[in-house]
Amino acid sequence: MSLRLTNDLTIGSSFSDASQFVQEVNNAMPEFDSRLHAEFYVNDRYVAGLWCDALIKGNALKKVTGNNVQADKYVGGHSQCTRFLLINDSMMAVKKSNELLEALSEKNASLISLSYWGDKQQQQQNASGMNSTNEYWLESPLRAFSLEGIQIFADEICKLPRIVWRRDCPDFASCIETIPLGHNRKVKRCIVERTEKDVVKHYSLDKVHGLYPGKDGKGKAWSNNFTFWTNLRDQMSFPVVKVNTGPLIKEAIKKKPEEIGMCTASRTRYN
């Protein structure tokens, strides 16, 4: 097993933060030995680009070789690893859990995500498509892949250039009501469409699974909704909290300090 920590070069503290993290993990868990690595890449294609750089530039994946197969394909290639976790640094564990990797094996899946949106069963019954408000897709901050699953991700998502909404999401030009803000909002929305919502479309639906609902009955996401996050935590033992959405983590620290403290017991303060 090899663990890789990636970080971007756009924040001055990235090198020191990542290096300090690796050092602290090695000090606390020497059994990792030399299996935990920090890698640094230019953040020019957003989070998906960083993951792709780690997979490809970091040589975690090898391409197919042979005269009868396109050289730029990864499915059918090889790797030293058979399972992969892509985790955003905004995720903080609130309990010990191995459920994503366990679900990957139990369900014989290509892709397991922490959270899902939409109705998978309805989408399976309606191959021609469905209302976008109920479209089934998997959130990107915490996912597990089989070897073939990560190869599909490399073939289909890692080939994408830097997202330009006018080219990659041309329909946004007329979406005045649904996307009322300016250029930056459209860029962010297009990134979500192409590198997050579209990912499921490259897999058989029976090979992809989300473990927890990503939104409540009013369409509000768990990541900035303390009430919904609390329900997920209390009723389903939801394993993480998102730390870069101020209201959620601030309320969690204030109202559920025992939950946050489960995985931060050795820390002197919350950052």
pLDDT at residue 251 greater than cutoff 70? yes
**Structure-derived torsion over alpha carbons of residues 118, 124, 127, 130, reported in degrees to the nearest 10:** -20
pTM: 0.86
Question: With 70 as the cut, is the pLDDT of residue 157 above it?
Answer: yes
Are 100 and 142 in contact, with CB atoms under 8 Å apart?
yes
Residues 79-109 have pLDDT tens digits of: 999 999 999 989 999 998 999 999 999 999 9
pLDDT band at 12 (very low <50, low <70, confident <90, very high): very low
d(CA 137, CA 209): 9
Structure-token match 């927890």, residue found: 212
Asked if the model's pLDDT at residue 270 lies above 80, the reply is no
Q: Which stretch of DSSP H or E encloses residue 193?
A: none
223 to each of 8, 92, 97, 228, how far by Cα in Å?
Answer: 23, 12, 19, 9
Distance CA 162, CA 191 (A): 9
Summarised one tens digit per residue, pLDDT across range 201-243 is 999 999 999 999 999 999 999 999 999 999 999 999 999 999 9
